[in-house]
Amino acid sequence: MKASQKRAMALALLFDILFGDPPNRFHPVAWMGSLIGWVDRRATSQRPMSDLVAGAGLVFGGGALIMLVARAIERILSRLSPNLVWLLEAAGLKMTFSLHGLRRTAAEVEMSLEAGNLPQARRLVSWHLVSRDTSKLDACGVAAATIESVAENASDGVIAPLFYYLVGGLPLAFAYRFINTADSLLGYHDPKHEWLGKIPARLDDLVNWLPARLTAGLFVLAAFLCGENGAGAWQMLKRDPSQTQSPNAGYPMSAMAGALGVELEKVGHYRLGAGFPKPVVTDIHRSIRLLSAAAWLGFFLFQLLPHANWIKRVNRGNQ
């Protein structure tokens, strides 16, 4: 990673801390969601092969278009002052992840539960964090759903975009964001989306394979640093991740369950950390602390990895 990319990543994190996310009308990810929603509303054939092709065309065509646009913007920026380039690149990178927004939303659920407002907590979880029916969840169920979302979105919404920026700059970071958004809007097993969302879902599984496992490892390290159960996080990471239907989501969620010493259950689907007590409202705050620690560990790791590669190249040259 170039020095300008390191500065851009650091500044993007600062932007996130200070300002959070812009309104949807100014947010590229919201624009992606509008485009995907427009295609979704018009995909009414419900013929498996037609829907499969439509979904593949959307995710590959849209992803390629996003990369071309981002590449064109990079070329335009390259003609500007170097100091301005990394400032604008940081602003663009900030649009691909949201640590502040995830922390804030989880904290809002926590505050609702602390105030005894279970209906409000259910609404917040359903609106911002999970797609499941939350209308019958008790306080422990709401806390579990919140913690699960914090863990999974630590990968999808923070570590993965930064990882793909490290690998391929803004074009790849935005392409990842498009793929992940397409899966979140289309990757359902209902009659309309079973085939339309199949390719976006499988592609999302592929691009999240490494970031999800990296995030889980960061949670283990964060647990040791934050005084949580690091050994338990490692134990659950080895035992439980295959329980989830997703090949990736179980990794950060299992590590989180072990780190907090709580059971995270989606009834009829999985029980991560079985044998631990069910989570309570205070466990949400603990999960937010682990989220922040893991995010910062990931940031420092991404800053250091290119330096390690540089050292290797120098050593080879001296042999």
Whether the Cβ atoms of residue 234 and residue 257 lie closer than 8 Å to each other: no
Instruction: Please tell me the pTM assigned to this model.
Output: 0.90
Kindly state whether residue 313 falls inside one of the protein's structural domains.
no
For residue 319, give every residue at least 6 positions away whose Cβ sits within 8 Å of its Cβ, in sequence order, or none.
none
Report pLDDT for 310: 42
For 100, the token pair is 């502040």
Q: How many domains does the chain have?
A: 1
Instruction: Say what the pLDDT of residue 74 is.
Output: 80
What does the pLDDT read at residue 1?
58
Q: Is residue 172 part of a domain?
A: yes
* Predicted local confidence at residue 312, as pLDDT: 44
Q: Distance between CA atoms of 80 and 40, rounded to whole angstroms?
A: 39
In a domain, 122, yes or no: yes
Residue owning tokens 């005084």: 227
The reported pLDDT for the residue numbered 318 is 41
Domain presence at residue 219 = yes
Residue 312 lies in a domain: no
Domain holding 151, by residue range, is 3-304
For 17, residues 6+ apart whose C-beta sits below 8 A from its C-beta are: 99, 100
In-domain check, residue 318: no
Cβ atoms of 295 and 99 within 8 Å: the answer is yes
Alpha helices in the chain (DSSP H): 3-19, 28-42, 48-56, 62-77, 82-94, 99-114, 118-124, 139-154, 160-186, 193-196, 198-207, 209-225, 230-239, 250-260, 281-318
Which contiguous run of DSSP H or E holds residue 266? strand 264-266
Angle at 242 between CA 167 and CA 58, to 5 degrees: 50
Instruction: Let me know if residue 316 belongs to a domain.
Output: no
Which positions of the chain have pLDDT values less than 70? 1-2, 44-45, 306-319
- How high is the pLDDT of residue 306? 62
> Can you tell me the distance from the alpha carbon of 39 to that of 61, in angstroms, rounded to the nearest whole number?
12
- Asked whether residue 163 is domain-assigned, the answer is yes
